[in-house]
A and B are shown apart, each in its own frame.
Chain A
């Protein structure tokens, strides 16, 4: 009965490939986010969507394209993967934009070789 679920949990892929990470929340929240935990361990926001509308795009390379088919789903597609994309990606949701009660998924560890 997971509140925010991400798949896959682990992803190992070669440079140049295209991959997707899926996220679903069953909390009825309006806002969803993607965060990246970088090599220095900071959790940095990449995108946020409110009810399928893009709210934040935090200077992320355009190889990263979020897709929100409905307010319960926010998927992340990455084209032409690079070594520097290796990180842990966390999906999160909150009741509305600006509220701070985020619920996080368990993360997807992406390794680009």
Chain B
């Protein structure tokens, strides 16, 4: 059973526009949610997080929104830049580990 899911395998956005990546989870015991970014041939790197007691966290061009009632979180990137092209993993913390989704490949077009 996959407790964290990213149902869009890929997303293509024009440079300068907003990118919105989505993630759904099933376990209400998760207490932190995170986004990791991964370039080819590299490991995932931490991008931004949000506590389960918050509904929004912002860091520069990146904002994460959490809707606990819907068990849904999203990552907004605005404005999108070519260097944002990567695979983005959603993750949730529970039981001494991070549970990851399957990633969404974001492509920013010039």
- Given contacts A43-B89, A56-B96, are A90 and B43 in contact (CB under 8 A)? yes
8 Å CB interface, A84-103 against B: 90, 92, 97-98, 100-103
Q: Which residues of A contact B99 (CB under 8 A)?
A: 45
Q: Which of A35, A55, A104 contacts B96 (CB 8 A)?
A: A55
> Residue A104 contacts which of B34, B43, B102, B103 (CB distance < 8 angstroms)?
B43
**Total count of chain A residues near the partner, CB < 8 A:** 26
Residues B2 and A106 in contact, CB atoms below 8 Å apart: no
A43 and B44 contact, Cβ closer than 8 Å, known pairs A100-B32, A100-B34, A100-B49:
yes
**Beta-carbon contacts under 8 Å, B81-110 to A:** 89, 91, 93, 96-103
The residue on A at minimum CB distance from B44 is: A104
- Residue pair B44, A4 in contact (C-beta under 8 Å): no
Q: In the complex, given contacts A100-B34, A106-B43, what are 10 additional A-B residue pairs having Cβ atoms less than 8 angstroms apart?
A: A4-B43, A40-B102, A41-B9, A42-B2, A42-B101, A43-B102, A56-B97, A102-B36, A104-B43, A105-B43
Binding site for A on B (CB under 8 A): 2, 9, 32, 34, 36, 41-46, 49, 89, 91, 93, 96-103
23 A-B residue pairs with CB within 8 Å? A4-B43, A33-B97, A41-B102, A41-B103, A42-B102, A43-B91, A43-B103, A44-B100, A48-B96, A48-B97, A58-B97, A90-B43, A97-B96, A100-B46, A100-B93, A100-B98, A101-B46, A102-B36, A102-B46, A102-B98, A103-B43, A106-B41, A107-B43
